[in-house]
Amino acid sequence: MEISTLAEQVIAGNRRALARAITLVESAREDHRAKAITLMEEIGKCGRQALRLGLSGTPGVGKSTFIESFGMMLIKEGLKVAVLAVDPSSSRSGGSILGDKTRMELLSREKNAFIRPSPSQSELGGVARRTREAVALCEAAGYDLILIETVGVGQSETVVSEMSDLFLLLLAPAGGDELQGVKRGIMEMADLILVNKADGDLKPAAQRTCADYAGALRLIRKRPQDPMDFPKAMTVSAIEEKGLQEAWGEMNMLIDWRRENGFFDKRRSEQAEYWFAQDIRHGLLSQLEKEPLKSMISGLASKVARGEITPGHAAADVLTALRGH
């Protein structure tokens, strides 16, 4: 099929075309990559803008349950919702959202929802680029809200926050009074912390945890992109569908403020620059893993190990060879 036809069908909201387009951007084949670049240029022209919502949380906090309840709530308000995932570890473990479809039973049957699991790649750089392009494809296809889920595995939060307008951190109620070992860097990325499972016996613990995090957020350096009182911590119950409307209200308030004050567009511009730099890095690194450089490097590595050539000299040789390609 012609790429321009595929682009038209995606923009017309054709689900099968969207799925096919995502498969194309996920492909590692070089001829597919060239087509994917053309496709991304074509769909970029439609100028649609969705709200991109990043969602992170360790396994078991209730991400899938939250996405089901929150997604269904938005669909009832007449919105179209897409769900994507960045999960570099998911390839074989089955930890991806596809395996979670039972927890998203209603959402996965909705005609106004589109759910796509993480591409089965083990390398975060590749997963990141493909997900980012999938986000743009869903946006062009007319989805109003794009949820990008990730499990908390270090780097993946950065990747998701760099493709989101808002970043949500989902937490479970803590047993003790300690903050649940959430790294400072991740706290600093969050726009909204949602303490889930605020229901039944867990409700008091959820409220305590929420208060702890609200306190911790106040100690974090103020960011220019936040109005008063943000970032915030709130409690929700994904199962009982409580607090979701309030959380959505806060998200809209924050987004409206950022739009009015120029931070929304500024952030997207910075993200475009970030991904430009990342794609260059990723492309350069993948050159090193391809022939002829791959053999050259392993040959030189042995010589370096035997002391036959200095590391600096060997590296300079590789870089000279790289420039020659």
Ligand X SMILES: Nc1nc2c(ncn2[C@@H]2O[C@H](COP(=O)(O)OP(=O)(O)O)[C@@H](O)[C@H]2O)c(=O)[nH]1
How far is Cα 200 from Cα 220, in angstroms, rounded to an integer? 31
Label residue 307 exposed, middle or buried (CB < 10 Å: 0-12, 13-18, 19+): exposed
Closer to Mg ion by Cβ: residue 68 or 250: 68
**Which of 251, 62, 30 shows the shortest CA–CA distance to 172?**
62
Three-state SS string over 87-154 comes to: CCCHHHHCCCCCCCHHHHHHHHHCCCEEECCCCCCCCHHHHHHHHHHHHHHHHHCCCCEEEEEEECCC
CB of 254 to ligand X, least distance (A): 23
- Residue 127 or 141 having the CB closest to Mg ion: 127
Residue 63 sits in the site that holds ligand X (CB under 6 A): yes
42 touches Mg ion (CB under 5 A): no
258 touching ligand X, by CB under 6 A: no
Contacts of 131 (CB under 8 A, 6+ apart): 84, 85, 86, 118, 119, 148, 159, 163
Of residues 197 and 232, the one with the C-beta less far from ligand X: 197
Residue 96 in the binding site for ligand X (CB under 6 A)? no
| Token pair in block for residue 202 | 């867990």
Backbone angles phi, psi at 129, to 5 degrees: -65, -45
Which of the choices ligand X, Mg ion, none does residue 224 contact, using the CB cut-off of 5 to 8 A by kind?
none
64 binds Mg ion per the rule CB under 5 A: yes
Residues between 160 and 199 with contacts to ligand X, criterion CB under 6 A: 196-197, 199
Q: Name which position in 46, 174, 214, 239 contacts ligand X (CB under 6 A).
A: 239
Residue 117 or 125 with smaller CB distance to ligand X: 117
Q: Is residue 214 within 8 Å of residue 233, measured between CB atoms?
A: yes
Determine which residue in the list 96, 237, 254, 300 makes contact with ligand X, applying CB under 6 A: 237
* CB closer to Mg ion out of 139 and 157: 157
64 binds ligand X (CB under 6 A): yes
Q: Is 57 in the site for ligand X (CB under 6 A)?
A: yes
**Residues that bind Mg ion in the complex, under the rule CB under 5 A:** 63-64, 100
